[in-house]
Amino acid sequence: MLSSAIPAELSDPDGLWYGLTVRARTIVYNPDEIAVDDLPTTYEELAEPEWADRVCMRNASNVYQQSLVASLIEHHGYDEALEIVEGWAANADIMGNDVLILEAVNDGLCEVGVTNHYYLAREYDENPDFGVELIWANQDDRGTHVNVSGGGVTTYSSHPEEATAFLEWLATDGQQVLIGGNHEFPANPDVPPDEVLVERFGVDFLRDPLQPSVYGALNPDAVRLMDEAGYG
Amino acid sequence: MIVFRRPTSRTGWSWTSIVIAALVVIPVAMLATSILTPRTDVWSQQWATRLPGEIVETAILLLGVGVCSTVLGAGLAWLVSAYRFPGVRWFGWMLILPLAMPSYILGFLTLSTLGPTGPVQDQWREWFGRDAWFPDIESVWGATVAFTLVLYPYVYLLARAALRDQAAGAYHAARILGAGPTEAARRVVLPLVRPAIAAGAAVVMMETLTDFATVQYFGVDTVSVGVFRIWRGTYDRDAASEIATLVLGFALLAIAIERLARGRARFGQSGGAGAGIERRRLTGWRAVAATTVCGGVIVAAFVGPVVQLAVWAVREQTSDRGTPLLEQYPEYLGNSLQLMVVTVVICLVAAVVVANAQRFGSRRITGVTARLVAIGYAVPGPVVAIGVLLAVIGADRVLEAVGLDLPGAVATGSFLVLVYAYVVRFLAPGLGAVEAGTAQVSDEMTASARSLGHTPMSTMWRVHLPLSRASLLSAAILVGVDALKELPIVLLLRPFGFDTLPVWVYNLASESRFQQAALPALSIIVVALVPVAVLSRRLDRA
């Protein structure tokens, strides 16, 4: 039942766990600082010299930054990914968390940034006029990088049937409870995302179908790659 | 002196003491020995990339915080001990309050107000234009200031006690012999209190070294952060433990610096409360300056942050989405308190045993074990956490080999493992305080009790413990405050789903959800304030 509710690209290939909510990592910008036509459309573009000192990104200790780099390794191979991250390291002002990045973009300290989508939605909750917008990255190729929050049943579970039933509920009727207020995307495609996402971001976008287990396995390489690239 | 001992009881005390010391030393030793079989690939990769920078940043931060805390702590101690100026009575105890403020809380407050996107810099840019220069807060310098403001009280406390107990008589003698106040301070007082200041500075550096939350807020890449990143990002425990030995190296360096700064003098708290240095009255601008400096430090390190947190907490709890916070609150608070109480009780019992074993057991053995127990405090939190995990995994394998299979129960982060790590780290300050108390009971008193037919156990209960009640309280306070604020150990070892107040604050503050982090942050400070207040009252009274 879980495998029919949750798309395969959001789950473990062996069914050990299932994604329940989706977090998209994409490009945000300040419309007062940059015209939509001038925006970078891919993560890779942010490594170009023209973006020097114009972009804010997240530090290497962060798991979203790590998984984004891991996905680059899968798509481009280690050497090319290294070049891209070196470009980022040269261009970016590297910050401690996504909210700082959004505030910096809002303040005009950087024209564009890379953050998870729901942080921006939360800023809109506080202030609907918050001066940052987003575009979905890499729409002309593989799609926007996404992470999942998910669940599985542990080997030593004393109530595996109940645990499975709970997961099944979370994947269906419980989806609204899971995403209530946090602006993540439901993993079940039959469940509608919340209004802010529909109205302000648009929810019909291409997602990178790379499975989390694939980029998860590459996470150690991503950490080493950022070490090598001198990415802060 | 005649002491009657039954050999069996004497060996019992020695052995118990040895077992306790072994439990503390084994995790540290296992970590240290991991370096004997180095993973050359990891080291060459790290050495070629991040490690040199991390070592430099760690060194700069350690020295910066060490020096600044020493100057500030010792300076303030001298100011309130030797002079009278408006407010000095209040400042005397208020200057200890920042002890209740964890560095990671002051860190995120500093960043959110003075950081690049905070209100201060927003206003600054409005006045002077977008490219106007402003000091880089997200830097090793910003972190140095934040650490100094919360850690200087360690130096301040020890310096004040030393000034009161040890230096006052010598100062007055020097003055009577014709030395001016400055000369007397420089040539007589400073050498006398130097060991106390050095000891305080060593504690300050240990506390700086153990942190990896505050430094991350400030974007400072220390070796501890590197260990954390390897541990969490590459799942490579061996590599993380090997890099962690470097943190251990820094800790040893800090101790070496203390020994060096202390010179040949030893730091010991003398029992009798001296009359203190006769205070000179400051007038005019000097008085204003003294009041401003003391007041400024208290406002910046404690009052200001607490007010800001209170405002945020009220705003969060009265806003529409403030409710989910309150639901989890009792659980997290309960976890924190539970962990604190269990740690305090175990540390006290172990400290009492080790301290009393020095009376009842073989002196040669128990003297050594007491020093070994003190190792834990010199080892930074992340190192203790990893060491304990290595030890527990080892124990798990041994159990499995002898057929006692406890599937996953021991190794995968149980509450007991967490407590074990806490005890390894915090037994030393507890033992120090208990030893100071036991030292006040003379050997003759112990001997009298024994010759009147009391067993060691009964002597301990009926003579030693009642006479060192105050020290037991001190021990509980020191261990309790530290355990309550502890973050790195709990982040690395906590059982699944086990959150404490510091973890909660760390998670929220890591995402800049400062307003939501305010209530738990305030709770940590309020709970920590109770023991700190007891401590400051005793300092004042003495």
The 3-state secondary structure of A46-85 reads HHCHHHCCCEEEECCCCHHHHHHHHHHHHHHCHHHHHHHH
Chain A nearest C-alpha distance from B221 (Å): 8
Query: Smallest Cβ distance to B49: which of A97, A100, A228?
Result: A228
- What stretches of B361-380 show up as alpha helix (H) in DSSP? 363-373
Q: For B39-53, what is each residue's pLDDT tens digit?
A: 888 899 899 999 999
Taking CB atoms and an 8 Å limit, are B235 and A97 in contact across chains? no
As a whole number of angstroms, the distance between CA B301 and CA B106 comes to 7
Mean pLDDT of B231-239: 84
Query: Smallest Cβ distance to A109: which of B116, B236, B321?
Result: B116
* Proportion of chain B above pLDDT 90, given as a percent: 28
Q: Does A66 touch chain B (CB under 8 A)?
A: yes
Give the residue from B431, B467, B434 showing the smallest Cα distance to B448. B467
Is residue B139 predicted with pLDDT exceeding 50? yes
Chain B nearest C-alpha distance from A61 (Å): 6
pLDDT at B2: 52
Taking CB atoms and an 8 Å limit, are B122 and A98 in contact across chains? no
Chain B nearest C-alpha distance from A5 (Å): 26
Could you report the average pLDDT of every consecutive run of 10 residues in chain A (232 residues)? 91 94 97 95 96 95 94 97 97 91 93 96 91 96 95 90 95 91 93 92 94 94 94 88
Give the residue from B531, B480, B525 showing the smallest Cα distance to B342. B480
The residues facing A92 across adjacent strands are A55
Please give the residue of chain A at the shortest CA–CA distance from B219: A96
Q: Does A228 touch chain B (CB under 8 A)?
A: yes
Q: How confident is the model at residue B9 (pLDDT cuts 50, 70, 90)?
A: low
In the numeric block, the tokens 């036509």 are attached to: A37
Please give the residue of chain B at the shortest CA–CA distance from A105: B117
Interface residue ranges in chain B relative to chain A, Cβ cutoff 8 Å:
45-46, 48-50, 111, 115-117, 122, 125, 130, 138, 216-219, 221, 225, 228-230, 232-236, 321, 407-408, 510-513
Taking CB atoms and an 8 Å limit, are B232 and A63 in contact across chains? yes
Best mutation site among A33, A78, A107 for testing chain B: the one with the most B CBs within 10 Å? A107
Cα dist. B275→B73, B165, B179 in Å? 21, 8, 20
pLDDT at A173: 93
Q: What are phi and psi of B287, to 5 degrees?
A: -65, -45
As a whole number of angstroms, the distance between CA B118 and CA B182 comes to 43
Please give the residue of chain A at the shortest CA–CA distance from B213: A96
Count the domains in chain A. 1
Give the residue from B400, B274, B381 showing the smallest Cα distance to B28. B381
Taking CB atoms and an 8 Å limit, are B235 and A220 in contact across chains? yes
Q: Are B14 and B357 in contact (CB under 8 A)?
A: yes
Q: Are A47 and A83 in contact (CB under 8 A)?
A: yes
CB < 8 Å to A232, chain B: 219, 221
The residues facing A114 across adjacent strands are A27
Continuous segment of H or E residues that includes residue B79: helix B51-82
As a whole number of angstroms, the distance between CA A174 and CA B345 comes to 43
Please give the residue of chain A at the shortest CA–CA distance from B319: A126
Query: What sign does the dihedral B230-B231-B235-B240 (CA atoms) show?
Result: positive
Instruction: Extract the tokens encoding A115.
Output: 């953050």
Mean pLDDT of B456-472: 84
pTM of the model: 0.87
Query: Smallest Cβ distance to A156: which of B219, B408, B511?
Result: B408
Torsion on CA atoms B325, B326, B332, B337, rounded to nearest 10:
140
Strands A133-135 and A185-186: unpaired
Best mutation site among B42, B49, B104, B126 for testing chain A: the one with the most A CBs within 10 Å? B49
Is residue B272 predicted with pLDDT exceeding 50? no
Q: Does A89 touch chain B (CB under 8 A)?
A: no
As a whole number of angstroms, the distance between CA A112 and CA A131 comes to 12
- CATH code for position A47: 3.40.190.10
- The single-letter DSSP state of residue A206 is P
CB < 8 Å to B46, chain A: 227
Chain B nearest C-alpha distance from A212 (Å): 15
Chain A nearest C-alpha distance from B304 (Å): 22
pLDDT at B58: 95
Range of the domain at A69: 2-229
Mean pLDDT of B526-532: 86
Please give the residue of chain A at the shortest CA–CA distance from B409: A156
Q: What are phi and psi of A152, to 5 degrees?
A: -150, 175
Query: Smallest Cβ distance to B233: which of A96, A220, A232?
Result: A220
The residues facing A27 across adjacent strands are A114, A135
Q: For B301-359, what is each residue's pLDDT tens digit?
A: 999 999 999 999 888 888 766 555 667 788 899 999 999 999 999 999 999 998 888 88
Q: How confident is the model at residue B259 (pLDDT cuts 50, 70, 90)?
A: confident
Averaged confidence pLDDT in chain B: 85
Angle B226-B38-B238 (CA atoms, 0-180°, nearest 5)?
A: 50
Q: Are A225 and A82 in contact (CB under 8 A)?
A: yes
Is residue B376 predicted with pLDDT exceeding 60? yes
Taking CB atoms and an 8 Å limit, are B219 and A232 in contact across chains? yes
Taking CB atoms and an 8 Å limit, are A227 and B46 in contact across chains? yes
pLDDT at B238: 84
* HSE value, Cβ hemisphere, 13 Å, CA-based, for B326: 10
CB < 8 Å to B228, chain A: 61
As a whole number of angstroms, the distance between CA B203 and CA B254 comes to 9
Cβ partners under 8 Å of residue B485, min gap 6: B102, B502, B524, B528
Please give the residue of chain A at the shortest CA–CA distance from B217: A96
Cα dist. B152→B52, B206, B297, B305 in Å? 28, 13, 10, 16
As a whole number of angstroms, the distance between CA B143 and CA B140 comes to 5
Q: Are B87 and B293 in contact (CB under 8 A)?
A: no
Q: How confident is the model at residue B270 (pLDDT cuts 50, 70, 90)?
A: very low
pLDDT at B453: 86
Continuous segment of H or E residues that includes residue B142: helix B140-162
Chain A nearest C-alpha distance from B326 (Å): 16
Taking CB atoms and an 8 Å limit, are A107 and B125 in contact across chains? yes
Chain B nearest C-alpha distance from A46 (Å): 21
